[in-house]
Structure 1
């Protein structure tokens, strides 16, 4: 798969604040690439720089090997869907979708055909004569998406497109985005701070921190093999324990025990990462085990989140699946338990 977008050495400053720091990134053709990061990580600044709304002080932005860095937004074959949707309240749905086409001088006949095609694409046939105020949040989101897609951009940028929707609607709309991207065959770059959203839609994810890429990879690569403590903690619930690595043997000095990893790590001091859902309480036959006391537990519908305090004062979070109901999964605070896991659950990270 060849690259559509290449960002190299991009630096953006707001006064003395460094928003992007020599950032490099590639996005392939027909790829849904997700920029994931916390507030202030630089993900929206990067999106706006690609769209042309922010001018970098250093670096280049190439689309199909054409340098876009100095071009204004209207001259880039790129469209951006904003977090607020920014629909025109005085216009109908059809007029909102047609807005960009009119500015490009497209004929009325072609505009009508394109608007009808876009309404069908986002499953809003028959809504063309309505105003935005008469639509639900999910419907407004789809109108904004249709307007962004109407001019047939080669790259679509989406800034937190699902943030205004409730949880159930977010889930449905995530599936719609994946369907649309596949049916259209164009590349999407989507910004979010929601890890579940990123894992659910992305072909690849770029985790951002302090204006740089902390790690880029597929959802499986990032979740199973995080590059460091930051990525492990940002993408999923990860317990982190200090350790000393010697091949597949992992000593936990503060607990006075050694455990086994399925994969060897870099010899010396490091960190052991353990996903909360891969730990078990009270199960027999697990290779690795430590003892602790239940500090508290919280019911979350599909899982029970249990905090177990170890002898050195550190705490392990264990997520117990409730596929068979609460029943045997319930544990009382103050009870001494064994927490176990298999060697395949060990993630060995740099110190």
Structure 2
């Protein structure tokens, strides 16, 4: 496996990092968090213009990337900057589902930033089981309830899963279609989600089943893992800077042995996470893909909690203030564990896959 980024991926990384460093400040993010939609249309358009959204799609899908390492590069940088725009849910998951359905014209709109999507698959009581779908399709009319639907309020369309007989099928539903009720709320880690109720809402069949969704979910696992890695890198860098700036007894507190040892533990965990993300991105198309993904996600949850807790404790009270960068970053790290399966879920999944 090649651990060195290609020239194109290095350019993408550098371009995105510079843009976010200059434009995505803590004050800008706080303004976005306090906004009605929980995202910035201007930032979204600029990410599309930079080609960030196009990097999530293959050349056959009118993009220029789409591989595991392309996804990891993008989301690691988004995680480093604490970006709250729904790139994962709208562009990656929603866009790749449309691509799998052969909706090339809509995929072009996603890449251009003019079309936003929300994937409505999870349901109350379903936890992380992908085959837990109680929503029913009567012909093309959908009835049921979806939980924690990211970006539902801002999306142009929802991609909704429903039971069609014994199978799970996916449908394209306009956000403002009759029978669609969206109740939105802010999320702890930033952005907004919604509870979506469907009452005979008209949907357009996409011709996709659970197998296609599982492949897209694998991409999302790499993305959320890379995003958490980027957030951990930011938390670690902020903590190192603080330890070498804050002085006590006439010298930086980072020179005290107890804090130096704790920082060493954080750095070791960070390197393990970095290796795990590289491994997951490189094995997206392997026969034992799910084994690698569950191992990575389990490690993300365990290491992420350590990094976030140590960063806050070594900072002290300032780490809990909204005006300080670490407050948001630490929330992102912790909440990443609860998306697409938490630590316990993926430990059980890894054990089951290993025994199979």
Bin the TM-score by the shorter chain. Answer: under 0.3
TM-score where L is the length of structure 2 = 0.27
TM-score where L is the length of structure 1 = 0.28
Task: Pick the structure with more helix per residue.
Answer: 2
Structure with higher Rg: it is: 1
